[in-house]
Structure 1
């Protein structure tokens, strides 16, 4: 028996209204000075711990200059889809830069990271194929699997025995692929790429990695998960976003030239959607160049990640298996999670709660994002606020 649409809408409305009445609705806030480590929200300065601006590139002069030049040359949009009249020189330059950055033969861009995963999975895999995904892969990967019509199976998070159990019984499938997040967005841990690659070779399976949260974060120079593990050519399909560390909009797939050409002529989101505006493509290309030209940004991010993670662990919070710029403070109970969020926000930290059903029931959390432009004083103050709030609420 189905549930009336109006009832579903009203159920969510009641939950949101209840949070607003309790002053625990932390979403859809208007944020000023988004490029800084301290921002203004509701006319109050807060230390930003809810941003994807890991390398602090949003306000970088080179990116702003690239945007201005692109607008002056191309205006504010394109005249059609990429396949017809919507391809400009800057689109080609961006895709060439992405391919170079990822050590691939070619690349293709889409209008969002979400659409990119849908496009790749639905275009390359179909009924009769097998897609194997981590249980906590991003929603866009799951939706891509469902829309593709392929058989898809999930393995326990980062559990290589679980993965091998699936692959060992997959002889009937001609086309097989394992898809994982490089950095898991709710956990802050990293996919076990060396073992995934070994199993993929053993069972004649391709590998796709979503690097939304790993570009600019993983690896000594921020080139991502292969650099982090000291591997080369282990990923068949490199996916990433242009809207997190790279502060623009869109997503990309990088890989061998024949596959990319196939996507250009066969993926519906590419064929039937307007492309990235040239200005956003120019900004994304400039961001990739800055990542390579200014390695000190990655070095400082790694230093800040270590300082915050070790500090928050020493206080007594459960951060799971996080080793990256995403550091979850796993509380469990929704009420406790919201109370902690309210208390630290009141004291000067902007952070958002992640609640069921975005994550499994009973694992509600605050998700902290460490930035390269956090100062040592920012981190020390944040740790002090988290410590006092956690002790007052009896959580640590």
Structure 2
């Protein structure tokens, strides 16, 4: 069932004058409703305005963008970084760039639509993907591009990316959407860039949203200086309006809050796991706040008891049902205790 709400869904939402605990969405650190974070954002809106529609190539340029991008590159561990107005747009920039150069492109299973253009499809299985890439490397002297998402709850990608070890990555450009990992996983929330860089791909790009882990409407692409400069020279970069400058300033000014929220989130994850009697009924990743399950009756049981979880068909109505419990940093231990008690008592 679809519910329309009037306020941002944080730990609680109100539906027809009734309060529900909410364990869904992607606001993992709960920054969007954090009062201190909001105050920083409001102050930056007063300084920079609500939007900045000029090209990043214009003759008048705001210094905050370069400051934010240098900060992100240093945080991620990449040589350089650029930002755009959304995570989806960063994926589209990468895929458009590589398809324009007629590179052979491969798509891992469950790769997000952000990394697709028309008529491109994901491989059905990782074994098939590895076979097809290796065959390509054996029969051509070209260097293909591999697109994938970082976070899959089946464990195929983060944290081990084991299947990548079966491919000669020295000839592969790897482009990864880390929207759901960046700000959450990795050392201090740095995501998967350094982890994948250790596998020594020919070239590495990591892109994604800053909305999930940092609470702002923007996207990023991390890579080498040469690679990022090539992207900055594209028409798409010149034509697209940038992220609002207030979001970039808020990113820089909110590090302390973000670090505190991340610590709380990790504590909530461990509290959930330690209080579930049968954790094997869920698919989940280390230190990650999403717990997938398959029993629709459990979702109905929770809803009957005033708890809503992620429960919808994705990406289209004809596609499979996504059932997930999603923790965020605004949940209290009592919230989680109530949730786990209901799950443990369900049969």
TM-score (norm. length: structure 2): 0.84
Return the offset for 1:263: 1.1
Alpha-carbon distance between aligned partners in 2 of 1:321 and 1:33, rounded to the nearest angstrom: 25
The corresponding residue for 1:32 is 7
Task: In structure 2, list runs of 5 or more residues that go unmatched.
Answer: none
Return the offset for 1:213: 0.9
Return the offset for 1:330: 1.4
Alpha-carbon distance between aligned partners in 2 of 1:257 and 1:229, rounded to the nearest angstrom: 17
**Aligned partner of residue 292 in structure 2, secondary structure:** strand
The corresponding residue for 1:351 is 309
RMSD: 3.2
Return the offset for 1:383: 1.9
Q: Which of 180, 195, 214 is 2:181 aligned to?
A: 214
Map of 1:165-314 to 2, 5 A cutoff? 165-171=131-137, 172=140, 174-184=142-152, 190-191=157-158, 193-195=160-162, 198-202=165-169, 204-226=171-193, 231=198, 236-268=204-236, 270-288=237-255, 290-291=257-258, 294=259, 296-309=260-273, 311-312=275-276, 314=277
Alpha-carbon distance between aligned partners in 1 of 2:317 and 2:290, rounded to the nearest angstrom: 15
The corresponding residue for 1:6 is none
Alpha-carbon distance between aligned partners in 2 of 1:316 and 1:344, rounded to the nearest angstrom: 17
Alpha-carbon distance between aligned partners in 2 of 1:153 and 1:41, rounded to the nearest angstrom: 38
Alpha-carbon distance between aligned partners in 2 of 1:201 and 1:289, rounded to the nearest angstrom: 40
Return the offset for 1:352: 2.9
Return the offset for 1:177: 1.9
Q: Which of 59, 64, 79 is 1:105 aligned to?
A: 79
Q: CA-to-partner distance for each residue in 1:296-323, whole Å, 9 max, x for gaps?
A: 53343233223424655x3477323544
**Conserved 8 A contact 1:102-1:223:** yes
- In the comparison of the two structures, how many residue pairs are matched? 343
**Conserved 8 A contact 1:197-1:207:** no
Q: Does 1:82 align with 2:45?
A: no
**Aligned partner of residue 248 in structure 2, secondary structure:** helix
Task: In structure 1, list runs of 5 or more residues that go unmatched.
Answer: 1-24, 332-336, 392-396
The corresponding residue for 1:328 is 292
**Aligned partner of residue 100 in structure 2, secondary structure:** coil
Alpha-carbon distance between aligned partners in 1 of 2:185 and 2:54, rounded to the nearest angstrom: 36
Structure 1 residues 66, 267: closer, same or farther in 2, change over 3 A? farther
Return the offset for 1:121: 1.2
**Aligned partner of residue 125 in structure 1, secondary structure:** helix
**Conserved 8 A contact 1:183-1:191:** yes
Structure 1 residues 130, 112: closer, same or farther in 2, change over 3 A? same
Q: Does 1:372 align with 2:329?
A: yes
Q: Does 1:120 align with 2:77?
A: no
Structure 1 residues 191, 177: closer, same or farther in 2, change over 3 A? farther
Alpha-carbon distance between aligned partners in 2 of 1:79 and 1:231, rounded to the nearest angstrom: 38
Alpha-carbon distance between aligned partners in 1 of 2:342 and 2:97, rounded to the nearest angstrom: 48
Structure 1 residues 203, 50: closer, same or farther in 2, change over 3 A? same
Alpha-carbon distance between aligned partners in 2 of 1:176 and 1:229, rounded to the nearest angstrom: 17
Return the offset for 1:382: 0.9
**Conserved 8 A contact 1:164-1:199:** yes
Alpha-carbon distance between aligned partners in 2 of 1:277 and 1:117, rounded to the nearest angstrom: 19
Alpha-carbon distance between aligned partners in 1 of 2:262 and 2:40, rounded to the nearest angstrom: 22
Alpha-carbon distance between aligned partners in 1 of 2:275 and 2:53, rounded to the nearest angstrom: 52
Alpha-carbon distance between aligned partners in 1 of 2:61 and 2:255, rounded to the nearest angstrom: 20
Return the offset for 1:96: 1.4
TM-score (norm. length: structure 1): 0.75
Structure 1 residues 136, 202: closer, same or farther in 2, change over 3 A? closer
Q: CA-to-partner distance for each residue in 1:287-344, whole Å, 9 max, x for gaps?
A: 45644xx3x53343233223424655x347732354421111213xxxxx3x654442
